Chains A and B, each alone.
Chain A
Amino acid sequence: MSSRVRALFYAVAAAVITTLPAAAQDSVKIAYIDPLSGGGASIGEVGLKTFQYLAEWTNAHGGVAGRKLEVVAYDNKLNAQETLVQLQKAIDSGIRFVTQGNGSAFAAAIEDFVTKYNERNPGKEVLYFNYAAVDPALTNDKCSYWHFRWDANSDIKMTALTNYMKPRANIKKVYLINQDYSFGQSVRTEARKMLGAKRPDIEIVGDEVHPLLKVTDFSPYIAKIKASGADSVITGNWGQDFALLLKAAADAGLQVDWYTYYAGGTGGPTAIKQANLPDRVFAIAEGVSNEPYAPAQEFEKAFRAKTGVTLFYPRAVNEIRMFVKAANEANSIDPTKIAAKLEGMKFTVYDGGEGVMRADDHQFLQPMYIANLGPIGKDQPFDEENTGWGWKTAGKIDMQDAIVPTSCKMNRPS
C-alpha cells in the first residue's frame, strides 16, 4: 500500500469512526426497564404506553436539546437479577438514562448498580429516573446522587392521607390490610404512627398482612373486617390484590370508606362500581383526571385518544418535562450536567402549582391530591374503565404540608 493510499484509508477510517457516534447522538434514548411479560405485564404495558406517548409529545414540542427523544423497552420480568442484566444491556448499547418504577426492590438494585457504575466509569455516567417505586429508603439511607424520584414516597403519601383523615370526625375505627412485603409493611407502620399522632382517638381494630399477589379469594378477610366493626379501611394494595379485595367486599355488601394508594389501577374502578361505593373510595395521587385545570385536561384527552388508557402516571409527565427542561437549560445531553440542573429545580407540575426536586435527597416534592371515585358531573369529562364513574378531587394537600424530613447524606461527585 503506498503511503498516499494509506493516508487516505486512515482519513476515511477516522471520518467513519467520528461520524458514527454523531449519527447515534441524533436521538436521546431512555431505557424503560419494567415487567413486560408474566404477572406484572399488564402494569408494565401501561407505563410503556405512557412513556412512548411522552416521547412523541416531546418530539412534537421541540425535542430534548434539539434532539429526538426515544424510549427503548427492556423486560425485567419482575426479577432483580433480570433487571440488572437488562440495565447492563441498555448501558452497553450506549443508553445513559434509565427509568423504572414497578417494585422498590428492583429500584434499589438499579440505584445501587448505577451508583457503583458511575464511580467506576467517570465520563460515562448514567442517570436513574424513578417514576413509581415508593420505598422511603431509596431517598433516605440508600440515597444516591444519580437517582431522582418523581413519585411521592410512601411516607409522604401517608402524611397527606392522614392529613386528610384528621378533621373527618366520622372516622372512628380503622382497619389496616396490606401486602406482606417491604412496601405493605411500611404502609401499616406509618399509618399506625401517624394516626396515633394526629387522631389518638381513632381505634385501630385490625392490622392484617397477606401474601403478595397470591390470594384469590378475599372473602375471609372481608368477613374479618366486617366482624371488627371498622368504618374505614386503609390499604396499600395494588393490582389484582386491590381489585379482588374490592370484588369480595362488593359480594359481601361491606359498606366502609376505603383510603388507598392505588385504587386507580387496572380493574380497581370496575370493582368499586360493582361494590356500589360512590365517593367512598379515596386514592392519594399527584394528579386527578377531572381536576379543573385546562392544560392537564387537554393532555389527558389527547393521551386517552391515542393510547386508549387512563393517564395513571401524571408524575411521568413531570419527569419527562423536567428532563427536557434540564437538558435545554444545560444545552447538553450530558448526564452530569442534567443531574446538576435537576437538583433543586422548581417546576410547574402537571395539575398546576409548584413542585421542587429537593436537593438534599432528590425526592420531588409536589402538591398531593385525594381523589374519590363516583358518578361524574357535567364539567367532569373523564370516567374510568367505561363505568360512568370518574376520579374527582376530594382534597388537596399543599406541598409544604406533606414534607417529610430526610436522613440522606448525599455523596456528590467532586
Chain B
Amino acid sequence: MLELVTISALNGVLYGMLLFLMASGLTLIFSMMGVLNFAHASFYMLGAFFGFQISQILGFWPAFLVAPVLVGGIGALVERYGLRHVHRHGPVAELLFTFGLAFVIEEIVQMIWGKGPVDYRVPAALDFSAFTVFSTNYPAYKMFELLTAVTIFAVLFTVLKRTRVGLIIQASLTHSHMVAMLGHNVPRVFMLVFGVGTGLAAVAGVIAGPALVTQSNMAGALGPILFVVVVVGGLGSLAGAFLASLLIGLVQTFAVSIDLSVADVLGGIGVAPPTGGVLLDVWNVTVAQIAPIIPYLLLVLILIFRPTGLMGTREH
C-alpha cells in the first residue's frame, strides 16, 4: 500500500510537471495578451519535430536550444503578420485564426515528416535510471523534465512579478494606451510575448518528443488537456497553471490505482447493488476506468462553480 502511494505520488508529480511544461506558454500568451491560442499544441508539435531534425544533425543539446528559438521566431512572425491584423476584429476572429492555424501546421508537418512516428530518442547522456524506489526505476530523463519545468516556472514568475520588463508587459494588457504614451512599443511587446510563449511550447515539444511518440497527431492528442490545465488553474494565472498541473497529474494517477465502483461502495455499506437494468454498467465502472476522463469532469465543475479557476482574477 505504502509502495503504491509513494510511486503514485511520484508519477503524479512527474506527469503534472510535463503538463505544466506544455501549459506554461499557453498561460503566458493568454494572461499577457488575452489571446486563447488554439494552435498552441501545434507549436509544441513543431518543437518536437524541429528538435528531432536538429538532433539528427547536431545532437540533442544544441537542438534543445535552437529548436525553441526557431519556433519562437515563427511564433513572433505569426503574431506580427497574422494575429496583429486579426486582432482588430476582436477575440472571436483571433480564436478562429489560431484554430485554422492549427490545421495548417498539422498539414505542413505531415507533408514534411509524413504521417507515421519519427525515431526520436532520449539522448544517451540521460538514458539511465536516476534512482530506484521500491524496485521501480525513475529514469534520469524524467528528472530532467521535472527540473526544466520548475526552472521555467521560477524564471517566468520572477520576470513577470519582480522585474521592470514584467511590469511593462502586464501594464500593456490593461493600460496599453498609457504604456504607449510612456514611450514603449506595445505591439512589439505583444510580439515578443507571443514569440516567448510559442518558444516555451517548443521547449516542451523537444523534451516530450522522445518521452512520448513524435508524430503528426501529437498536437491533437494533447491540445484538450492543456485547456483543462489553464481553465482549472484560472485563465491567465501562471501560479494557478502550476498548481492545476500538479493537481491533475496527482488526481489522474491516484484515480488509476483505485479499483472501486459504485457497486462496491453500496456493497460495503450493506446495500445490495442492482444486478440488471440499463444502468448496470454505471454501477460497475471502477474509478480506475474513468481516470483519464476525470480532468474533463473537473473542467466542467470548475466552470460551473468557480469560473475564475483556482487562482484566476479575471472572468472571461
What is the bound-complex CA distance between A9 and B110, given in angstroms?
A: 52
B116 A252 Cβ-Cβ under 8 A: no
Contact residues in A for B135 (Cβ distance below 8 Å):
226, 253
Interface residues contributed by chain B, number (CB under 8 Å):
43
Interface residues of B in 124-152 (CB under 8 A from A): 129, 132, 135-139, 142
Closest residue of chain A to B141 (Cβ to Cβ) is A251
A217 B115 Cβ-Cβ under 8 A: no
What is the bound-complex CA distance between A244 and B142, given in angstroms?
A: 15
What is the bound-complex CA distance between A266 and B118, given in angstroms?
A: 10
B3 A227 Cβ-Cβ under 8 A: yes
Q: A214: which of B117, B132, B292 is its contact (CB, 8 Å)?
A: B292
Q: B142: which of A243, A251, A253 is its contact (CB, 8 Å)?
A: A251
Is residue A105 contacting chain B, with contact meaning CB distance below 8 A?
no
Closest residue of chain B to A224 (Cβ to Cβ) is B257
Q: B212: which of A210, A226, A244 is its contact (CB, 8 Å)?
A: A244
B11 A41 Cβ-Cβ under 8 A: no
A215 B11 Cβ-Cβ under 8 A: no
Interface residues of A in 201-224 (CB under 8 A from B): 208-211, 213-217, 219-221, 223-224
Q: A45: which of B15, B116, B138, B220 is its contact (CB, 8 Å)?
A: B116
Q: Which of B11, B119, B252 has the most CB of A within 10 A?
A: B11
Is residue B247 contacting chain A, with contact meaning CB distance below 8 A?
no
Contact residues in A for B222 (Cβ distance below 8 Å):
216
What is the bound-complex CA distance between A64 and B30, given in angstroms?
A: 60
Interface residues of A in 361-406 (CB under 8 A from B): 385-386
Contact residues in B for A217 (Cβ distance below 8 Å):
11, 15, 18, 253
Is residue B246 contacting chain A, with contact meaning CB distance below 8 A?
no
B137 A253 Cβ-Cβ under 8 A: yes
Is residue B154 contacting chain A, with contact meaning CB distance below 8 A?
no
Contact residues in A for B215 (Cβ distance below 8 Å):
42
Q: How far is the CB of B105 from chain A (nearest CB, A)?
A: 14
What is the bound-complex CA distance between A223 and B220, given in angstroms?
A: 27
* A219-B11, A251-B137 known; A42+B116 contact, CB < 8 A: yes
B221 A220 Cβ-Cβ under 8 A: no
Binding site for B on A (CB under 8 A): 36-39, 41-42, 45-46, 180, 208-211, 213-217, 219-221, 223-224, 226-227, 240, 243-244, 247, 251-254, 266-267, 270, 385-386
Given contact pairs A42-B215, A220-B8, A227-B4, enumerate 19 new A-B contacts (beta carbons under 8 Å): A37-B110, A209-B289, A210-B292, A216-B221, A217-B253, A219-B11, A219-B14, A220-B252, A220-B254, A220-B256, A220-B291, A221-B256, A223-B7, A223-B8, A224-B4, A224-B288, A227-B257, A253-B132, A266-B116
Q: Which 5 A-B pairs have the closest CB atoms?
A: A253-B137, A220-B256, A41-B115, A42-B116, A220-B253
Task: List 27 interface pairs A-B (beta carbons < 8 Å), by A numbering.
Answer: A39-B220, A42-B115, A45-B114, A45-B116, A46-B116, A208-B289, A210-B291, A210-B292, A213-B221, A215-B292, A216-B221, A219-B11, A219-B253, A220-B12, A221-B256, A223-B8, A224-B257, A227-B3, A227-B4, A240-B213, A243-B117, A251-B142, A253-B129, A253-B132, A253-B135, A267-B117, A386-B119
